[in-house]
Amino acid sequence: MRSAHIVLDGHVVAEDLSLDFAGGRTTCLLGRSGVGKTSLLRHLAGLLPGTESAGPVAYMAQRDLLLPWLSVLDNVLLGYRLRRNRAEHRAAEPRARALLAEVGLGDRLQDLPHTLSGGMRQRAALARTLCEDRRIVLMDEPFGHLDAVTRLDLQDLAAHLLEGRTVVMVTHDPLEALRLGHEIRVLSGRPFTVGPVIAPPGAVPRDPGDAALLALQARLIGELRRQA
């Protein structure tokens, strides 16, 4: 991303911002609520007025956004349904089934979303995001409103499934950033600036009990707190 200006409702969220994201790796953007993380992600996705996405991206929002009238399987294939390309749709179906099996929903293919729990719905949304099969994946606090244990499970699953893709994930949870990010960058200020790259050691998903990780978490929390 080069020289981006992000404006939201007349307020400058970020000026002249240039950012590089490591290809095939996961970058976590960490910041407090209201700093402009979501705006940055929406800018990248081409969802802000006057912006265009950098290329084909898959976008996963805070809410699961499953369509209540479509089965779980059809929800995962939503992109193909909307683009109305029958050949691609047929070709993608086995992959959708495989993805749903991987996220543990292999036996709920024909169920409607309202019959699923919050964690299951978010897993279905993850499967939909991956089924789009785009090289760049943008995620906006995808596990933000799940209970702590479900969140850890989903982080493990996501780290495994997102391997090899260029992922930009926005989060306000330092532990989540430390578990999933090959690189972490802290957003702060108004208009916000992006801090230097923090690359925690070890492969993702990292163990939440690891001593080095907990020390880094304390450091990140301190950094976020100073911005009050």
Partner 1 sequence: MRPLATALGLVAAWEALVWFTGLPPYILPPPSRVAVVLAERFDLLLEQAVWTASEMLLGLALGLVLGATLAVIFAASAAWRRWALPLVIVSQAIPVIAIAPLLVLWLGYGMASKVAMAALIIFFPVVSSLYDGLRRTDPGWLELAHTMNAPPRAVLLQIRLPAALPAFASGVRIAAAVAPIGAVIGEWVGASAGLGFLMTQSLARGQTPLAFAALTILCLLGLALYTAADRLARRLVPWQSHQGD
Residues that bind partner 1 (CB under 8 A): 42, 45-47, 53, 56-59, 61, 63, 65, 67-69, 78-79, 81-84, 112-114, 132
How far apart are CB 7 and partner 1 at their closest, in Å?
18
Complex with partner 1: residue 37 or 179, whichever CB lies closer: 37
Query: Inter-axis angle of helices 118-131 and 148-161, to 10 degrees?
Result: 10
Q: Give yes or no for a contact between 142 and 158, defined as CB atoms under 8 angstroms apart.
A: yes
How far apart are CB 56 and partner 1 at their closest, in Å?
7
Q: Distance (Å, rounded) from C-alpha 148 to C-alpha 136?
A: 27
* 187 strand-pairing partners: 194
How far apart are CB 34 and partner 1 at their closest, in Å?
19
Complex with partner 1: residue 44 or 175, whichever CB lies closer: 44
**With 0-12 CB in 10 A as exposed, 13-18 as middle and 19+ as buried, what is 70?**
middle
- The token pair at 199 is 């690359």
How far apart are CB 63 and partner 1 at their closest, in Å?
6
Which residues touch 16 (CB under 8 Å, ≥6 apart)?
3, 4, 5
Complex with partner 1: residue 74 or 176, whichever CB lies closer: 74
Complex with partner 1: residue 65 or 161, whichever CB lies closer: 65
